[in-house]
């Protein structure tokens, strides 16, 4: 959170930009707060993708639910909770709009800045380890970044297209 890919000031900024790009509208005030808190659960985690790290959406969701939702509504709770594809899959539900903006955020993350943060936090080792089956053993940081950036941008663009039925083929 202080130095890594999910750095608490930079990452929400890039997610906000990605939201604008994907949805062609500004997030409302409460959605903006969700963009800010959605990854707070990573704070203090040793790994991003282990069993503990996979539960990171819960803290942001609990904050959003407590302060932003009214009555029995779980709109903002769910927006944060299901920004994780893994968490969504485990709960047999569709990822939220925030998921795709979160994935698309890498579009606004320059290589050198991303790699510096990922190296300082140690995340790059975990991410490359998780990619070995697809990319092999001896891939450089730059090759990994180029691959994952392209993959996430395509994934988020495709999912946005599926989620917005009124889009024309020119928008895709």
What's the mean pLDDT in 69-74? 94
Residues 16-45: tens digit of each pLDDT: 999 999 999 999 999 999 999 999 988 876
Cβ–Cβ under 8 Å, residues 115 and 121: no
The yes-or-no verdict on residue 79 having pLDDT over 80 is yes
- Half-sphere exposure at residue 120, Cβ-oriented, CA atoms within 13 angstroms: 13
The verdict on residue 152 lying in a domain is: yes
Determine, yes or no, domain membership for 3: no
Residue 159 — pLDDT band, cuts 50, 70, 90? confident
User: Does residue 134 lie in a domain region?
Assistant: yes
Q: Quick check: is 1 in a domain?
A: no
The pLDDT score that the predictor gives to residue 63 is: 97
pLDDT score of 166 more than 80: no
Is 123 inside any structural domain? yes
pLDDT confidence of residue 155: 93
What are phi and psi for residue 110, nearest 5 degrees? -60, 145
Q: What is the pLDDT of residue 54?
A: 79
pLDDT tens for 90-143 read 999 999 999 999 999 999 999 999 999 999 988 888 888 888 888 878 889 999
pLDDT on residue 167 = 32
The boundaries of the domain holding residue 81 are: 10-171
157 inside domain: yes
Question: Is 147:135 a contact under the CB 8 Å cutoff?
Answer: yes
Q: Which residue has the higher pLDDT, 4 or 170?
A: 4
User: Would 2 be classed as within a structural domain?
Assistant: no
Does 100 map to a domain? Answer: yes
Residue 50: helix, strand or coil by DSSP? coil
What distance in Å separates the CA atoms of residue 124 and residue 118, rounded to the nearest whole number? 5
Minimal CA–CA distance to 82: which of 97, 96, 92, 68? Answer: 96
Rounded to two decimals, the pTM is 0.86
Residue identified by tokens 């609990």 is: 62
Domains in the chain, number: 1
Spatial contact of 61 and 78, defined as CB atoms under 8 Å apart: yes
Which tens digit of pLDDT belongs to each residue from 46-63? 766 677 767 899 999 999
Give the helix ranges, DSSP H, for 27-168. 29-37, 57-68, 75-81, 85-90, 97-104, 111-121, 123-135, 141-163
């Amino acid at each position: 959170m202080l130095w890594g890919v999910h750095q608490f000031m930079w990452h929400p900024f890039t997610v906000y930009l990605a939201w604008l790009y994907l949805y062609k509208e500004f997030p409302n005030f409460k959605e903006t707060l969700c963009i800010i808190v959605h990854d707070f659960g990573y704070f203090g985690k040793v790994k991003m993708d282990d069993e503990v790290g996979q539960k990171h959406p819960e803290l942001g969701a609990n904050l959003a639910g407590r302060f932003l939702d009214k009555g029995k509504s779980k709109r903002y709770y769910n927006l944060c909770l299901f920004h994780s594809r893994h968490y969504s899959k485990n709960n047999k539900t569709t990822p939220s709009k925030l998921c795709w903006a979160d994935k698309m955020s890498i579009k606004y993350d320059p290589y050198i800045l991303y790699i510096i943060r990922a190296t300082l936090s140690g995340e790059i080792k975990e991410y490359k380890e998780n990619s070995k089956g697809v990319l092999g053993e001896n891939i450089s940081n730059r090759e990994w970044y180029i691959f994952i950036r392209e993959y996430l941008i395509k994934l988020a663009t495709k999912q946005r297209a599926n989620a917005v039925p009124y889009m024309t083929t020119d928008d895709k």
